[in-house]
Amino acid sequence: MFRTALRNVLAHKARLLMTAFAVMLGVTFISGSLIYGDSANRAATARATDGYGRIAVSVFPDDSRGGAAVAGDGPPGVDAATVAALAKVAGVAAATGRVDGFAAVADRDGRLLGHGPSHKGANFAPGAHGTDPAYRFTRGSGPTRDDAIALDETTAAKGGYRVGDTVRVGTNQGAASYTLSGIFRTDGTARPAGGSLTLFTDATAQRLFLRPGRYAKADLTAAPGTGVRDLLGRVESALPPGTGAATGAQLARIQANLATNDSDTMSQILVGFAAVALFTATFLISNTFTMLVSRRTRELALMRAVGATRRQVRRVLLTESLLVGALASAAGLAAGTGVAALLRTVFAADDAPAAPLVLTPGTVLTSLLVGTVLPMVAAWLPIRRAMAIPPVAALGAAEPAQPARTGSLRTGLCAALLLAGVGAAAYGALSPGRDSRTVIGVGAALALTGAIGLIPLLARPFTALLRPLLTRLHPVHGTLAARNTVRDPRRTGATAAALAIALTLASGLSVLGASAARYLDRATTHDFTADYLVKPAEGGMRMTPDTAAPLKGLPGVRSSPLDQSTGYRLGGVPSVLTGVDPATIGGLLRYDVIEGSLDSLAEGRIAVADFKAGPAGWRVGQTLPLERQDGKRGSVTIGAVYRADEQSNLLPSITAPDSLVARYDSAPSTAGVLVDTPGGPGRASLGEVTRALGDNPALAVLDQAGIRAQDSGDIGEQLNVFYALLSMALAIAALGIANTLAMSVLERHKEIGTLRALGVDRSGVSRMIRLEALLLGGLGATLGTALGVFLGWALGRTLQESVAGYALVLPWGRLAVGVLIALVGALLASVWPARRAARTDIAAATAVQ
């Protein structure tokens, strides 16, 4: 039986090529995703833990967990006296005080260097030999003066800086210019990929990031012959109150767990899209085996007639699918390694160190198992159908038996699934609750399954709808293409189903993305009436009320900070207060006051958003008790209630005079600064505001267009990544169209030869095949787009309960592009079958009996 299966595979290798290629693509995607995830995890772990090997024990304030303490938020680090005392503990070779914080480096044009929230500054802590073991200088040396700094070599290269150049650096304390004293390399614990690392002297780093004479932590190295556990015990017995200690190995494990979170998430997303690609490939495989088995009906019947049992024939066919899957899986696993390398290049930071790819036994086993089992499962149904044909009937047929029409039972079941799925998704959308998205997800699965099963039934009315257009363009070829498309509805349905799945996901993502982008645009810019918003250029910087102070001196400029202060209970309700300038805020933000007056802010009262006041039952004139978590108590009176979107990035839930916030919080965090200039937004006013803020590269001065681009840019980037991942499913769907047309051409060899003999030229035959491809592509694209729009609407409805102002947006342009890509893919898939059909030999084809 195995030899028979092997001979059959070799005999039909051309027909099985597309199936093998589809399986290979699916396995390539899933193995590449798994290899990428394992490699990214190992690289992230190695980078995050690099450097902890030289730390025996680290000492830090108890409540800072090893991170940099912030003045006013608990114990201010570890003092210099403690570091000196730790250096004298038996077994300690050296004790080095470390302090770090936010520091952003500007390029020569004043723009921020690097990306992401990883702009970091630290202290250069030379030992007895004048070197710091954490940093290896390639040029120059560490800073020894307060007006000098050192830069990591990646940042220096990006900015084109050399030793001796002047560099502008921004921190939470403002911006200043420094002389570059050296360029260094460092380990992964000091500078995450994509960011920058700036070294200051001890005194400068302490002043900028903590307090003079204080360190965030102290790193201890062990003397030769001293065990880490023994050293930890000695250090803990010598620690002053309010400090703790951990070994470098313990800290490395914590950092490793934190470092793998992002790569785990991306790996899960990739595996999810790989599953979609494999599911799409299932239709191609099933369709191919259906056509192969149909073509080999007489061959299989002959095997039965000479003594082979039904089980043996079934075993031969399943073995064929197993062989195809095994060979394709091996090729896919090899190609997956290259895909993993490509994914690592796409998603890694541009300065991330090279790391080897990781191929685990689990990845090999999963890839081979999926790639071999999937073809067997997909081939089971067509094999079962073939075994139901009696051998005598198959041997007596001059031509392969016509495919069975879609049965009423199957049609009824699929219709029920479609209706149930649509009903469940609509119910989840119109009755939002905690489990509404789960209900929609189940409904989507049922609806997609039912729709796929009904595609053979839908093929006839869809073709009939487009037939007048085809016959108008090409009367003869259009009529033939329409008839050939509905000749085998099951085959047409299986081919179009793969395309429908990909278009469902793509169009659903487009609807959600466009709706979310429109909402964010409106929620951000609708309330913004100022010229500029000043905010951190990247995450990591902490703005304070002092940030806006220089703007007060600009003639004709109105400004107001948004000073957020947390930890309040207002009338028993947890609340966040945002302090503003009562004199200017009315001209910088659009407040839709429902009750009271915004002028009451100048009287020391507060204004509350409707979504905050409504559930709490607050009203204008009501005095509420106020208590902060640090024990400060008082009371405030509501002076106005305004309409606001709970998800707005600008309008706060509670607006208070900045003087009121300062009374309870000496160090609020400023979320942004609103600025209005006399001449309106423009290059001159932008330069004036930027200079007043000290040319700080850590601060971004954004007009309305800049805010819109920043808030909606992330959604666009994520959608582009998802579209790129879905392209694999589209590629497999195109292969399915090519395979279906190729097998159809093979089955219709005599028919095509007869058409040629009757006068249809080669271009006419090619045109007929291309029109068939367009009908297949159009059917899948239409159904997928309709389902995607519906599911995008349903999921969007669940957001309306918590996101006021969210509304459905149909991105007609993107939807049209999706359909166009599907049609172009179908045309490209038809090139080889059309070429083969056009080259049909008339004499040989018409001589076939």
Q: Identify the burial level of 17 via C-beta atoms within 10 angstroms of its C-beta, where 0-12 means exposed, 13-18 middle and 19 or more buried.
A: middle
End-to-end Cα separation, the chain, in angstroms = 30
Q: How far is CA 411 from CA 88, 291, 449, in A?
A: 84, 22, 12
Predicted confidence band of residue 477 (pLDDT cuts 50, 70, 90): confident
Look at 829 and 640; give whichever has higher pLDDT: 640
Q: In the 8-state DSSP scheme, what is residue 197?
A: E
118: helix, strand or coil? coil
Q: What are phi and psi of 171, to 5 degrees?
A: -135, -175
Instruction: Check pLDDT > 70 for residue 732.
Output: yes
pLDDT at 500: 87
> For 558-584, how does the pLDDT look when each residue is reduced to its tens digit (9 = 90+)?
999 999 999 999 998 999 999 999 999
**What percent of the chain has a predicted confidence (pLDDT) above 70?**
84
- Report the run of H or E that residue 183 belongs to, with start and end: strand 174-186
Say how many CA atoms lie within 13 Å of 274 toward its Cβ: 28
Interatomic CA distance for residues 82 and 242, integer angstroms:
12
pLDDT at 613: 93
Residues in contact with 14: Cβ distance below 8 Å, sequence separation at least 6, in sequence order: none
Interatomic CA distance for residues 101 and 78, integer angstroms:
15
pLDDT at 66: 40
Instruction: Check pLDDT > 60 for residue 535.
Output: yes
pLDDT at 540: 67
pLDDT at 292: 67
pLDDT at 804: 61
Q: In the 8-state DSSP scheme, what is residue 116?
A: S
Residues in contact with 344: Cβ distance below 8 Å, sequence separation at least 6, in sequence order: 36, 39, 40, 355, 357
Say if pTM beats, i.e. exceeds, 0.95: no
Predicted confidence band of residue 596 (pLDDT cuts 50, 70, 90): very high
β partners of residue 184:
137, 152
pLDDT at 73: 43
> Per-residue pLDDT averaged across 591-607, rounded?
94
Highest mean pLDDT among 112-121, 405-414, 669-678: 669-678
Name which of 338, 263, 264, 270 is nearest 33 in CA terms.
270
Q: What are phi and psi of 660, to 5 degrees?
A: -70, -45
Predicted confidence band of residue 402 (pLDDT cuts 50, 70, 90): very low
Residues in contact with 273: Cβ distance below 8 Å, sequence separation at least 6, in sequence order: 29, 33, 722, 725, 726, 728, 729
pLDDT at 480: 84
620: helix, strand or coil? coil
DSSP codes joined into one string, 36-98: HHHHHHHHHHHHHHTTGGG-SEEEEEGGGTTSPP-TTSSS--EEHHHHHHHHTSTTEEEEEEE
**What percent of the chain has a predicted confidence (pLDDT) above 90?**
23
- CB count within 10 Å of CB 458 equals 17
Interatomic CA distance for residues 610 and 654, integer angstroms:
10
pLDDT at 188: 53
Predicted confidence band of residue 458 (pLDDT cuts 50, 70, 90): confident
> Per-residue pLDDT averaged across 470-497, rounded?
82
> For 73-127, how does the pLDDT look when each residue is reduced to its tens digit (9 = 90+)?
444 788 889 999 999 999 998 999 999 888 999 999 888 887 656 788 999 999 8
- Report the run of H or E that residue 565 belongs to, with start and end: strand 558-570
Of the candidate ranges 54-68, 90-104, 458-472, the one whose mean pLDDT is the lowest? 54-68
Residues in contact with 190: Cβ distance below 8 Å, sequence separation at least 6, in sequence order: 51, 120, 122, 134, 135, 197
Look at 802 and 196; give whichever has higher pLDDT: 196
Q: How far is CA 365 from CA 263, 295, 337, 629, in A?
A: 21, 34, 14, 55
Instruction: Check pLDDT > 90 for residue 594.
Output: yes
Q: Identify the burial level of 390 via C-beta atoms within 10 angstroms of its C-beta, where 0-12 means exposed, 13-18 middle and 19 or more buried.
A: exposed
Chain center to CA of 99: 33
> For 706-728, how does the pLDDT look when each residue is reduced to its tens digit (9 = 90+)?
887 776 666 766 677 677 767 76
> Per-residue pLDDT averaged across 381-393, rounded?
68
Q: What are phi and psi of 644, to 5 degrees?
A: -150, 155
> Per-residue pLDDT averaged across 538-544, rounded?
76
Instruction: Check pLDDT > 70 for residue 291.
Output: no
β partners of residue 57:
220, 247
Look at 462 and 1; give whichever has higher pLDDT: 462
Instruction: Check pLDDT > 80 for residue 693.
Output: yes
pLDDT at 757: 85
349: left (phi over 0), alpha (psi -120 to 50) or beta: beta
Of the candidate ranges 136-150, 203-217, 382-396, the one whose mean pLDDT is the lowest? 382-396
Q: Identify whether the C-beta of residue 91 lies closer than 8 Å to the C-beta of residue 226.
A: yes
Instruction: Check pLDDT > 60 for residue 406.
Output: no
Find where tokens 């680090």 sit: 77
> For 788-805, how does the pLDDT look when each residue is reduced to its tens digit (9 = 90+)?
999 888 888 887 666 666
DSSP codes joined into one string, 261-280: HHHHHHHHHHHHHHHHHHHH
Amino acid present at 415: A
- Report the run of H or E that residue 525 belongs to, with start and end: helix 489-525
Of the candidate ranges 63-67, 108-112, 226-230, 543-547, the one whose mean pLDDT is the lowest? 63-67
Amino acid present at 638: I
Q: Identify the burial level of 365 via C-beta atoms within 10 angstroms of its C-beta, where 0-12 means exposed, 13-18 middle and 19 or more buried.
A: exposed
Predicted confidence band of residue 754 (pLDDT cuts 50, 70, 90): confident
> Per-residue pLDDT averaged across 665-683, rounded?
89
pLDDT at 404: 45
Q: Where are the domains of the chain?
A: 1-50+278-401, 51-258, 460-526+711-849, 542-697
Torsion sign across C-alpha atoms 706, 707, 708, 709:
positive
Instruction: Check pLDDT > 80 for residue 593.
Output: yes
pLDDT at 388: 66
pLDDT at 399: 47
Predicted confidence band of residue 65 (pLDDT cuts 50, 70, 90): very low
The average confidence (pLDDT) of the chain is 82
Interatomic CA distance for residues 488 and 402, integer angstroms:
8
pLDDT at 655: 95
Interstrand relation of 135-140 and 214-215 (parallel, antiparallel or unpaired): unpaired
CA-angle at 509, arms to 830 and 783, nearest 5°: 45
> Per-residue pLDDT averaged across 336-358, rounded?
70
Q: Identify the burial level of 135 via C-beta atoms within 10 angstroms of its C-beta, where 0-12 means exposed, 13-18 middle and 19 or more buried.
A: buried
pLDDT at 68: 38
> Per-residue pLDDT averaged across 729-736, rounded?
75
Q: How far is CA 292 from CA 259, 382, 456, 557, in A?
A: 50, 9, 19, 78
Look at 848 and 585; give whichever has higher pLDDT: 585
Interatomic CA distance for residues 400 and 84, integer angstroms:
92
- Report the run of H or E that residue 640 belongs to, with start and end: strand 633-643
Name which of 148, 151, 154 is nearest 114 in CA terms.
154
pLDDT at 575: 93
Torsion of CA 138, 144, 146, 147, to 10 degrees: -50
> Per-residue pLDDT averaged across 232-256, rounded?
86
Q: What would you measure as the largest C-alpha separation in the chain, in angstroms? A: 103
Torsion sign across C-alpha atoms 700, 704, 709, 711:
positive
Of the candidate ranges 62-71, 661-670, 810-819, the one whose mean pLDDT is the lowest? 62-71
Look at 296 and 755; give whichever has higher pLDDT: 755
> For 424-452, how does the pLDDT look when each residue is reduced to its tens digit (9 = 90+)?
988 888 886 667 888 888 888 888 888 88
Instruction: Check pLDDT > 60 for residue 192.
Output: no
